[in-house]
Amino acid sequence: MRLYGYIARKFWAPFFFALGIFTTLVLLGDVFEKMKKMSNGVTTLWDVLSYSILTVPNWLATIIPVACLLGAIFVISEMVSNGEWTACVAGGFSPKQLFNPIIACVLLVVTVTLLAQEFFIPSINIKADEIYHTRVKRSEETFNPHAEENVLIKTSPNQMLFAKEVDMSTKIMNKVAVDTYDNAWNIAHQIVADKMTWDEEKQAWIFSNGIERTYLNPLNTTETHFEQEVSNIELNPQQMSISKTEDDLLSIRELTKRIRFYKQSGLSHYATETVRQSKLAAPLVTLIMCLLGMPFAISTRRKSKLVNILMSIVIAFLFWWFISMCTSIGENGLINPFLAGWGPVLLFGAVLVVEFKYLRM
């Protein structure tokens, strides 16, 4: 156990060093790119820095796998160069046993990252979006991340709702039209209202200042004006997922809610499902990436650590390229979202099995 603790402790220094280097590069790159916005004479350097700093946690999903890979390879290559690896193997330890403490460290990092992405990072992403639209890329319109314009929802098998604007923070829909169709999909009933508000006490949507039309036949229509009327729409705000936030900035729980809402509304959910599956597969992606690189650190023996660094970058680049390609194809609906999200894991997992068998780990 002392040996395992010794190996585990050696992992953290190169891991945090790599994490710090990549985080700094990402932050500086984003700051310099956003500084072009300062030419508008309104955006300040503090605005740019605030936005860039808040976007760093979202970059961690991309940075951490590489930091884990570099940390793992540095531990093994240092043990090999110092002769510690040879001594451990001579003492009866197999390479797989020596990998275990490193794998435990990687799993700890993955778990903490996953929890952060689920419970902390989404709220930071929303704050970053707010700063970007109000202080970096200023607009005459008021930015509201919980509002969306021109929303079309299938509220039931034969009913469609259109709203000019939906604000989930206030639970109000403006300029609403609700059309109900018969079995032949001819319009049978319509309600047009200035506003529709969710009533917590009645647990129902309330129309305000509207007109109710009933289509008896193509030439006969009745029309009635009303000040307020209770809607028969059963969809409540807790079931709805309407916001300006992009899919990749949401947690898995929020993506699941959005997918359920899209399915109920008859909207396309391929892109959102692909992002969700990619997030679910991310922990295994990090683990497989590290396991792919660790055996090579043994085979390089006393070669320069620069070789290990370049090898890590090549492995990470190939992984990222394949993941990005699968995600893009899945978001366009060309392949199944589950295959798009888990395809890289299956492919590189198979490569990992062959690698360990070939190197006799």
Regarding whether 345 and 233 lie in a shared domain, the answer is no
Regarding whether 6 and 130 lie in a shared domain, the answer is yes
Instruction: Report if residue 105 sits inside a domain.
Output: yes
Instruction: Report if residue 197 sits inside a domain.
Output: yes
Q: In the listed set 207, 227, 242, which residue is the last one of a domain according to the structure?
A: 242
Regarding whether 167 and 131 lie in a shared domain, the answer is no
Instruction: Report if residue 141 sits inside a domain.
Output: no
Instruction: Report if residue 255 sits inside a domain.
Output: no
Residue 44 CA to residue 167 CA, distance in Å, equals 30
Regarding whether 39 and 131 lie in a shared domain, the answer is yes
Regarding whether 22 and 103 lie in a shared domain, the answer is yes
* DSSP conformation letters of 215-280: EEETTEEEEEEEEEEE------GGG----S--GGGS-HHHHHHHHHHHHHHT---HHHHHHHHHHH
Residue 46 CA to residue 277 CA, distance in Å, equals 36
Residue 234 CA to residue 204 CA, distance in Å, equals 7
Q: How crowded is residue 66: how many other Cβ atoms within 10 Å of its Cβ?
A: 23
Regarding whether 308 and 183 lie in a shared domain, the answer is no
Q: In the listed set 206, 223, 242, which residue is the last one of a domain according to the structure?
A: 242
Regarding whether 225 and 184 lie in a shared domain, the answer is yes
Instruction: Report if residue 257 sits inside a domain.
Output: no
- Read off the tokens for 349: 């997992």
Structural domain for 113, as ranges: 2-136+269-358
Instruction: Report if residue 77 sits inside a domain.
Output: yes
Regarding whether 161 and 205 lie in a shared domain, the answer is yes
Regarding whether 319 and 232 lie in a shared domain, the answer is no
Q: In the listed set 205, 223, 242, which residue is the last one of a domain according to the structure?
A: 242
Cα angle value 240/249/45 (rounded, 5°): 125
Q: What is the pLDDT of residue 177?
A: 92
Regarding whether 89 and 11 lie in a shared domain, the answer is yes
Instruction: Report if residue 249 sits inside a domain.
Output: no
Q: Name the residue among 16, 5, 18 with its Cα closest to residue 98.
A: 5
**Whole-angstrom distance between the N-terminal and C-terminal Cα of the chain?**
21
Regarding whether 178 and 101 lie in a shared domain, the answer is no
SS (H, E, C) 79-117: HHHHCHHHHHHHCCCCHHHHHHHHHHHHHHHHHHHHHHH
pLDDT (tens place) for every residue of the chain, 361 residues total? 677 888 888 899 989 998 998 888 888 887 777 777 666 666 777 878 888 888 888 888 788 888 898 888 888 888 887 888 888 888 888 878 888 889 999 999 999 988 988 888 888 888 888 788 777 776 656 677 777 888 888 888 888 889 898 888 888 999 999 999 888 888 888 999 999 999 888 889 999 999 998 887 767 788 899 899 988 888 888 888 877 778 888 889 889 988 888 887 777 788 899 999 998 988 888 888 888 878 777 765 545 566 666 766 777 778 778 888 888 888 888 888 999 889 888 888 888 888 777 766 5
Instruction: Report if residue 254 sits inside a domain.
Output: no
Regarding whether 221 and 279 lie in a shared domain, the answer is no
* Helical axes 95-119 vs 2-34, angle rounded to 10°: 40
Query: Domain tally for the chain?
Result: 2
